[in-house]
Structure 1
Amino acid sequence: MTQLLDYRQFYINGKWVNPTKANDLEVIDPSTEKAVAVISIGDKADTDAAVAAAKAAFPAWAATAPAERLAYVEKILDIYKRRAKDMARAISLEMGAPQDMSLDDQVDCGVYHIENFIAAFKDFKFVRPLSADTPDTMIAWEPVGVVASITPWNWPMNQVTLKVIPAILAGDTVILKPSEIAPLSSIVWTEIVDEAGLPAGVYNMVNGDGVGVGTQLSTHPDVDMVSFTGSTRAGVAITKAAADTVKKVVLELGGKGANLVFADADEDAVARGVRHCFYNSGQSCNAPTRMLVERPFYDKAVAIAKEVADATAVDIAHKEGAHIGPVISKVQFDKIQGLIQDGINEGARLVSGGTGLPEHLSEGYFVRPTVFADVNNEMGIAKNEIFGPVLAIIPFDTEEEAVAIANDTIYGLTNYVQTQDVERRRRLSRQLQAGMVEMNGKSRARGAAFGGVKASGRAREGGVFGLEEFMDSKFISGWAE
């Protein structure tokens, strides 16, 4: 039997410590369905110790000069870059991102976010006039306090860096609770932060599940803010749990992105949308999983989508190449298989993929890249966030109909528009109910925030907006001489 990696310790008050009570959990490699590591699930005593350390460290950390906090983050960035391959291996092992994608995208997005926070922080004015015309009234931005950062498994370093780094820069102290099914990357991350030498208690990490450590952090009277990324169901539970202590709650939740493809779209629009839907094995909250296609272009779009899906390779995470890997767990695999079968039962036309493992794979949580056509918004595959490589294609006849279909969802994270008509793009960007709208395959600029509306939560993560999320604003009069 292969020796499991032993990661049972937590990081509390600047030290690696043993859990107060034994409660082991095996970490499963989704490519092989085999256990590869063992962690501990935290107890209330572990949570309390981490919160106490963060609370004790807060006054001194909040009082440090911004330049000092910046220097620590710059050191974290340097070490993170040096440990990139270690991080990539951990992510491939814990959640199945193929090794090339893990290094180039999963790991590199952390570099991207840290660099953006550094750039925004250098220009940030913690005390500034309300306006040029009101020198007597000032805005002061101040740290919230003790922050619980609860992160998901699908883009682990994306979310860890979007929470921990702005909190540290803002002057907050942090307790990180990563996903218990993908904790290995956060252990590498904690090694990086430890090497950077932050004062004891500024950063802490406790593994645990949502019912246990997650709820303990959400209800703890000494936690001032919870920043959570995950399912809408869990976000609702956290909000309710946090209500009694009136703490700040910031949520980045699910999505069911609509990709509006008009007949005048560029020639790569459909293929680009399908690839984006399948990226990270469909495990992205901003994935364009509903492709709305203008009727004159519909049949051709379906044919292109089938071609791309049929050509999408699926294989284990521990190989080089541009394939997609498994989904995270058997629970997710079974859920996705059930939703694909529901789509078939509801009468959607299966164009590519379907249920079951790809033919060349006999183990692992691999989902066949799947495309449904002739879908309508009443079907479960159009309503539910599937979180797998499953695309639903829906026809529309008019711009107004497209907007109505796109907005007919509880979610509002990212929508997409593909058309050469500039005025139409601008019109649609304002009508679509979402925190982000991306058009013609163009990414948002550095420093733009990530976040949604409606049941996607209302977090704004990244850049100056992400810094402000981890601070409270204070308005002061009588400032002028």
Structure 2
Amino acid sequence: MTNALTLVPAPHELDIAGHWIGGATAPGDGPTMEVVSPVDGAVVATVPRGSAADVDRAVAAARAALPAWSSTSPADRGAVLHRLAGELETRRERIARAITAEIGAPIALARAAHAGFPVAVTEAVASLAGTIAWTEEIGNSLVVREPVGVVGALTPWNFPLQQVITKIAPALLAGNTVVLKPAETAPLTAPILAEAAAAAGLPAGALNIVHGVGAVVGEAITTHAGIDMVSFTGSTAVGKRVAVAASDTVKRVALELGGKTANLVLPDADLEHAVAETLAYSWTNSGQACGAWTRLLVPADRHDEIVAALVDAAQAYTVGDPWDETTRLGPLASEAQWERVNAYIERGVAAGLDLVHGGPGRVPGLERGAFIRPTIFANVDPRSVVAQEEIFGPVLSVIPYHSEDEAVAIANGTIYGLGAAVFGERDHALAVAGRLEAGQVYVNGGRFNPLAPFGGTKQSGTGREMGVAGVEEFTELKAIQL
């Protein structure tokens, strides 16, 4: 254990006093919710439990701010976002501590990824202000990109601030105003964001935040007649319900949903590199990522060799106290999440899958919190439950294949199409990447690019986030005939 434990927030240090409406804290007039640490079950903060009336107030503030903000030039809106990135950077340590407290992400990961990615994404979006064709002449028509209006943003708990920024930064650059509901179990960065946005010069009412549960606040946002678009990130099951609820007012809906990423290792791949990257992308954030590489497809004649290398490399993925700087994997985000992931591991064992690392049950010495053992199943049937359903935990399935066509069929053989990965000789890997049904494909461990579009096909969602396409998602096209 290191002296990083001094970073643990004091009791009630992270309490949220109220919602953020019209540029000011708006105290809730109802009950509160508790934010619980997955490390030991302790209450780390209380948060107001919002109501439909709170959503009404937030929508009114957003609509009042819309005319002025939408008429601001894209360059000026981009400048605000550029300043917001700087304000978030100055608050990196506070953001990291809040995220570790609420979801148990290791503090080193919280600083680098959870607090770092939002800065990079905000900067990337700001840089697009001068590159998007806000107006374009096509024949005798002037085609104009205009803001959709008021955007409702519903975000998940696994990357609390990153998922928020991925929505609000492009929405704001496009000239929209926003009503945000952060995840009720991971809301602690929202007031830090509000503070940073105000310091960056974002006008009052352009960003509004209402805390609460999905069945109340999320439902009110989704069905509200004053909200013109809903952007949701979460499970496929909930995303379907959001789309149905929003249809009554014919809102635009953008959905970033689940995934079951296949990582296809070709015979000409660098196996050492593929193994290292596979575990990094499978188990980072304790596997709680929609794009986690949870299915590893390997040549059948190299299966045992690759599995042995995976098991050896897995020893470095220590599970422990997330406040310790050396911890690689913290707990899952909640006890409920632990129950879900552990049940999948138990189902894999009961189905007779070849368990080669980890397994069900508590981590020895860490029985109190939501700590799970990172798990590897080998010789997995691609039709099995663990190979088909999104587990959202550190569970890797190794699937052998006998031909490239079979591997592509297995990779495409789920309801999901969010991400994929390929390792092999570059031209060969690129050719295979073109055959995969996914919104983004990583070749030989290619890095995350905040200027590239992100989104899925099939039941992984509709629409795109980030990059030019992510900004255009929040615009309407108007054709003016001349």
TM-score by length of 2: 0.95
Match of 1:139, SS?
Answer: strand
Cα offsets for 1:252-303 (capped at 9, x unmatched): 0110000011222113212210221011100010011000111121111111
The residue number in structure 2 matching 1:220 is 224
Measured in 2, the distance between the counterparts of 1:201 and 1:414 equals 35
Give the alignment of 1:197-276 within 5 angstroms: 197-266=201-270, 267-276=272-281
- Code of the residue aligned with 1:427 in structure 2: it is A
Q: Contact (CA 8 Å) 1:263, 1:296: kept in 2 or not?
A: no
Measured in 2, the distance between the counterparts of 1:390 and 1:167 equals 34
The alignment covers a number of residue pairs equal to: 472
Question: Following TM superposition, by how much is the alpha carbon of 1:198 offset from its aligned partner in structure 2, in angstroms?
Answer: 2.2
Q: Contact (CA 8 Å) 1:310, 1:352: kept in 2 or not?
A: no
Measured in 2, the distance between the counterparts of 1:136 and 1:270 equals 56
Q: Contact (CA 8 Å) 2:146, 2:475: kept in 1 or not?
A: yes
Cα offsets for 1:404-438 (capped at 9, x unmatched): 1111100000101111162x323211211100111
- Code of the residue aligned with 2:245 in structure 1: it is A
Give the alignment of 1:241-320 within 5 angstroms: 241-266=245-270, 267-320=272-325
Match of 1:7, SS?
Answer: coil
Residues 444/6 of structure 1: CA separation in 2 closer, same or farther (3 Å cut): closer
CA RMSD of aligned residues (A): 1.4
The residue number in structure 1 matching 2:455 is 451
Give the alignment of 1:296-445 within 5 angstroms: 296-420=301-425, 422=427, 424-443=428-447, 445=449
> After the TM superposition, which of the residue ranges 267-276 and 383-392 deviates more from structure 2?
267-276
Q: 2:61 aligns with which of 53, 56, 59?
A: 53
Q: 1:161 aligns with which of 159, 165, 182?
A: 165
Measured in 2, the distance between the counterparts of 1:54 and 1:265 equals 51
Q: Contact (CA 8 Å) 1:309, 1:370: kept in 2 or not?
A: no
Cα offsets for 1:49-93 (capped at 9, x unmatched): 101111121112111222322222122112111111111111111
Asked if 1:112 is matched to 2:120, the reply is: yes
Cα offsets for 1:116-175 (capped at 9, x unmatched): 111112222311123xxxx42232100000000111111112111111111111110101
Measured in 1, the distance between the counterparts of 2:415 and 2:114 equals 28
Question: Following TM superposition, by how much is the alpha carbon of 1:356 offset from its aligned partner in structure 2, in angstroms?
Answer: 1.5
Measured in 2, the distance between the counterparts of 1:371 and 1:238 equals 34
Measured in 2, the distance between the counterparts of 1:459 and 1:280 equals 25
Measured in 1, the distance between the counterparts of 2:156 and 2:387 equals 23
Measured in 2, the distance between the counterparts of 1:46 and 1:328 equals 27
> After the TM superposition, which of the residue ranges 321-330 and 43-52 deviates more from structure 2?
321-330
Measured in 1, the distance between the counterparts of 2:204 and 2:266 equals 55
Match of 1:255, SS?
Answer: coil
Give the alignment of 1:118-133 within 5 angstroms: 118-130=126-138
Measured in 1, the distance between the counterparts of 2:162 and 2:60 equals 27
Match of 1:115, SS?
Answer: helix
The residue number in structure 1 matching 2:28 is 19
Match of 1:11, SS?
Answer: strand
Match of 2:452, SS?
Answer: coil
Measured in 1, the distance between the counterparts of 2:160 and 2:143 equals 34
Q: Contact (CA 8 Å) 1:309, 1:353: kept in 2 or not?
A: no
The residue number in structure 2 matching 1:62 is 70
Residues 81/338 of structure 1: CA separation in 2 closer, same or farther (3 Å cut): same
Q: Contact (CA 8 Å) 2:260, 2:418: kept in 1 or not?
A: yes
The residue number in structure 2 matching 1:73 is 81
Q: Contact (CA 8 Å) 2:17, 2:25: kept in 1 or not?
A: no
Question: Following TM superposition, by how much is the alpha carbon of 1:401 offset from its aligned partner in structure 2, in angstroms?
Answer: 0.4
Question: Following TM superposition, by how much is the alpha carbon of 1:398 offset from its aligned partner in structure 2, in angstroms?
Answer: 0.2
Gaps of 5+ in 1: none
- Code of the residue aligned with 1:158 in structure 2: it is Q
Measured in 2, the distance between the counterparts of 1:111 and 1:3 equals 27
Give the alignment of 1:167-206 within 5 angstroms: 167-206=171-210
The residue number in structure 1 matching 2:3 is none
The residue number in structure 2 matching 1:83 is 91
Gaps of 5+ in 2: 1-9
Residues 3/279 of structure 1: CA separation in 2 closer, same or farther (3 Å cut): closer
- Code of the residue aligned with 2:172 in structure 1: it is I
Measured in 1, the distance between the counterparts of 2:66 and 2:170 equals 15
Match of 1:61, SS?
Answer: helix
- Code of the residue aligned with 1:213 in structure 2: it is V
Measured in 1, the distance between the counterparts of 2:65 and 2:280 equals 45
Q: Contact (CA 8 Å) 1:327, 1:366: kept in 2 or not?
A: yes
Match of 2:468, SS?
Answer: helix
Cα offsets for 1:9-52 (capped at 9, x unmatched): 001111101113x2211101112221110001111110111011
Q: Contact (CA 8 Å) 1:314, 1:366: kept in 2 or not?
A: yes
Q: Contact (CA 8 Å) 1:101, 1:322: kept in 2 or not?
A: no
The residue number in structure 1 matching 2:5 is none
Query: Percent of aligned positions with the same letter in both sequences?
Result: 43
Question: Following TM superposition, by how much is the alpha carbon of 1:446 offset from its aligned partner in structure 2, in angstroms?
Answer: 4.7
> After the TM superposition, which of the residue ranges 276-285 and 372-381 deviates more from structure 2?
372-381
Measured in 2, the distance between the counterparts of 1:110 and 1:428 equals 31
Measured in 2, the distance between the counterparts of 1:384 and 1:397 equals 23
Q: Contact (CA 8 Å) 1:412, 1:452: kept in 2 or not?
A: yes
